[in-house]
Amino acid sequence: MSKETSFGNKKKSKGLPLGLLLTIIGLLALAGGAFMVFRDTTPPAITIGPDMERIGKQSALTVAVEDPGSGLTSVEVTVVQAGKRTTLLSESYAGATSRIEKTFQIGDGWIKEGEMSIEVTARDASLYPFGDAGLSKVQKNYILDMTPPRIYVQSHTNNLNQGGCGLMVFALSEKASVAGIQVGERFFPAHLQPGGDGKFVYYCMFAHPWDVKAADFKPMITASDDSGNRAKRSFNYHTNPRAFRHDRINLSDSFMEKTIPEFQGLVPNEGTLLDQYLYINNEIRKQNRAKLVEISRHTSPVMLWHGPFSRLPNAANRARFADARDYMYKGKKVDFQTHLGLDLASIQQAEIPAGNDGTVVFADFLGIYGNVVVIDHGLGLQSLYAHMSSLSVAEGDTVTKGQVIGHTGTTGLAGGDHLHYGITVAGIPTQPFEWWDGTWIKNNIMSKIQ
């Protein structure tokens, strides 16, 4: 066989036909193109805040735009008011930005009071279908109110004692979301009164706290409306400084051994008897006083009491209000606290009368106070009965002045059978003596209301 003939009979190598190869390449190209087109079919997400109808001068508008897919290419924020359009933001991006958030302060003067709307338009870098799916538009309507409430003082005479309280009557030009009297870091809520012939009249019980010097006592009426606009105003007052007694409490191991078990579960089981007692006298005391402020929010907006408050019958005064106490252990001072009530001692397990008409808002164990009843008398005024051996009322009960609510005892941090009697205003302890004095009530409370 010739060499040439042998070559002509050699088998050909296998391979994909050119047409099939081109078809596959075309399909891959189409798949890649489809991926690029369909990989982001979700438009940008837009949120506008705050989520409320009315906004004020102190409000801030917040716009957030997010597109985690193909990324943002442009965002525009426009305010529309009375047919006028004002651009607040117009930015372009290369598609690498997935989220932006911008804040605009209302008080900068670029807008007027009245109805307005915020429009936000955003685009992302998606191709499907030809850019339309990557477009978002959101509009939010607001009412802009930049006028704070006007405050009209109606109580022109306010006489107080350090540690005591008073009543302020004032009116507002509109209903407030929050109103009251600010004294340093303490706030005394005011209560809108029914009727008023179209006026917004508020009663506010407030105090000159025992621990605020007369020179530092600067009460201020404050009021905020639904738009967040806030007004404040001072008023005429006179306050009398008071000096409080100083006392010593001698701690013994036997007293602490008897007292601490009542706080089981509330005190860390570590350290000495003294360590555990000091934890009760400090940390739990703080918790209890915070609880009294919380309880004070559950109050009637109108006055429930009538006339002077009743006193524990035939009882001797022991510790006084705002007594400064040094706690001594083995001759050394180990703690300091202030006694914020009156200790009244009678016979053991004496009947306790309700100080005045009201509603029981707490009847349970409360730390250092032991078994406690708190009666709400309205306007944030509440009476507290502590160290009780038994309770005759429950939360929610309506009581009348003189009604027996329980018996005296030794629960809590009590060294002997007695009643710890307290008067609080907005949860802040005040001088109980004032509420036993009919003349003081007439001159300082009822004269304002009448």
Q: Is the peptide bond before 50 cis (omega within 30 degrees of 0)?
A: yes
Cβ neighbours of residue 177 closer than 8 Å, sequence gap 6 or more: 224, 225, 226
pLDDT greater at residue 4 or residue 348? 348
Count CA atoms within 13 Å of residue 9 on its CB side: 6
Longest dimension (CA), the chain: 144
Structural domains in the chain, sorted by start: 45-144 (2.60.40.10), 151-240 (2.60.40.10), 246-449 (2.70.70.10)
DSSP letter assigned to residue 10: S
Least confident residue range of 9-18, 82-91, 134-143, 350-359: 9-18
| Neighbour tally for 362: CB within 10 Å | 18
Per-residue pLDDT, 126: 83
DSSP string, 232-247: EE----EEE-----EE
pLDDT at 125 over 60: yes
* CA separation, residue 305 to residues 342, 378, 382, 439 (Å): 20, 7, 10, 15
pLDDT at 353 over 80: yes
Per-residue pLDDT tens for 20-58?
Answer: 767 767 666 555 554 444 455 789 999 999 999 999 988
* CA separation, residue 58 to residues 55, 80, 230, 422 (Å): 8, 20, 9, 40
Q: Report the SS3 class of residue 241.
A: coil
- Verdict on whether the full-model pTM lies above 0.95: no
Per-residue pLDDT, 30: 55
Per-residue pLDDT, 73: 93
Q: Report the SS3 class of residue 73.
A: strand
Per-residue pLDDT tens for 402-447?
Answer: 999 999 999 999 999 999 999 999 999 999 999 999 999 999 999 9
Per-residue pLDDT tens for 256-307?
Answer: 999 999 999 999 988 999 999 999 999 999 999 999 999 999 999 999 999 9
CA separation for the pair 200, 193 (Å, rounded): 7
